[in-house]
């Protein structure tokens, strides 16, 4: 039998290898420093979780929280980064989502289309891969970060329309500014 650090077996599919670092992701809390499931199994489990409402929303919040750390903001001032920072707690984020669902259901606040909490499949770095009716978080005022007063839940489609705003959509946005006191 090989030493433990040279042998690893996936607890999900039973895959065995003598090259664990190649097939298992790092995990600091594990004795051997590696996850118990191979990368393939972990990816499948992660896909299932992130396509649940809770998993999707956790992922959405996490992306908001780390947005200002993205490469595209590396060389900008702190003032500019502040426009992209998340100033809302996870608890408040979920409370706002629950309030949205009570008022609008799973419908986009601006367009009224039914939204889904699902990730689209595709390769990373291939550009936008989300569903057009996927839930998205929008800042009403792009000069302010993600605050409780400045965010709404809308569809990806409505969020993309900002570059080609229709009169109807613009009126809805102005109504929301007034409602939020911005």
How large is the average pLDDT for residues 104-123? 88
User: Does pLDDT of 173 surpass 60?
Assistant: yes
Q: What is the pLDDT of residues 117-169, one digit of tens each?
A: 988 776 554 445 578 899 999 988 888 889 999 999 999 988 888 756 667 78
User: Does pLDDT of 3 surpass 60?
Assistant: no
CATH of 51-180, one of 3.30.1690, 2.40.170, 1.10.3210, 3.30.40: 3.30.40
Spatial distance between the Cα atoms of 4 and 32, rounded to a whole number of angstroms = 8
Higher pLDDT, 73 or 34: 34
Show me where the domains of the chain are located. Answer: 4-46, 51-180
Spatial distance between the Cα atoms of 9 and 17, rounded to a whole number of angstroms = 7
User: Does pLDDT of 98 surpass 50?
Assistant: yes
Higher pLDDT, 90 or 65: 90
- What is the predicted pLDDT for the residue at 5? 57
Please tell me whether residue 8 adopts helix, strand or coil conformation: strand
Q: Do 38 and 13 touch, CB atoms closer than 8 A?
A: yes
Spatial distance between the Cα atoms of 71 and 74, rounded to a whole number of angstroms = 5
135: left (phi over 0), alpha (psi -120 to 50) or beta: beta
Higher pLDDT, 13 or 182: 13
User: Does pLDDT of 94 surpass 90?
Assistant: yes
Q: What is the pLDDT of residues 16-67, one digit of tens each?
A: 999 999 999 999 998 889 999 999 999 898 888 988 999 999 999 998 888 7
Please tell me whether residue 60 adopts helix, strand or coil conformation: helix
- What is the predicted pLDDT for the residue at 129? 58
Q: Do 146 and 85 touch, CB atoms closer than 8 A?
A: yes
């Amino acid at each position: 039998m090989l030493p433990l650090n040279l042998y690893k077996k996936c607890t999900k599919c039973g895959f065995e290898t003598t090259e664990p670092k190649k097939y298992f992701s790092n995990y600091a809390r594990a004795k051997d420093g590696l996850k118990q499931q191979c990368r393939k199994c972990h990816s499948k489990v992660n896909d299932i979780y992130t396509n649940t409402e809770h998993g999707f929303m956790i992922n959405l919040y996490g992306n908001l929280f780390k947005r200002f750390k993205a490469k595209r903001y590396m060389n900008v001032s702190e003032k500019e980064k502040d426009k992209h920072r998340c100033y809302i707690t996870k608890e408040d984020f979920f409370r706002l989502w629950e309030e949205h669902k009570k008022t609008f259901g799973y419908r986009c606040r601006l367009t009224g289309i039914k939204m889904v909490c699902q990730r689209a499949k595709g390769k990373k770095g291939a550009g936008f891969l989300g569903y057009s009716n996927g839930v998205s978080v929008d800042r009403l005022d792009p000069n302010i970060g993600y605050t409780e007063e400045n965010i709404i839940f809308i569809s990806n489609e409505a969020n993309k329309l900002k570059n080609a705003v229709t009169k109807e959509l613009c009126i809805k946005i102005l109504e929301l500014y007034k409602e939020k006191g911005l």
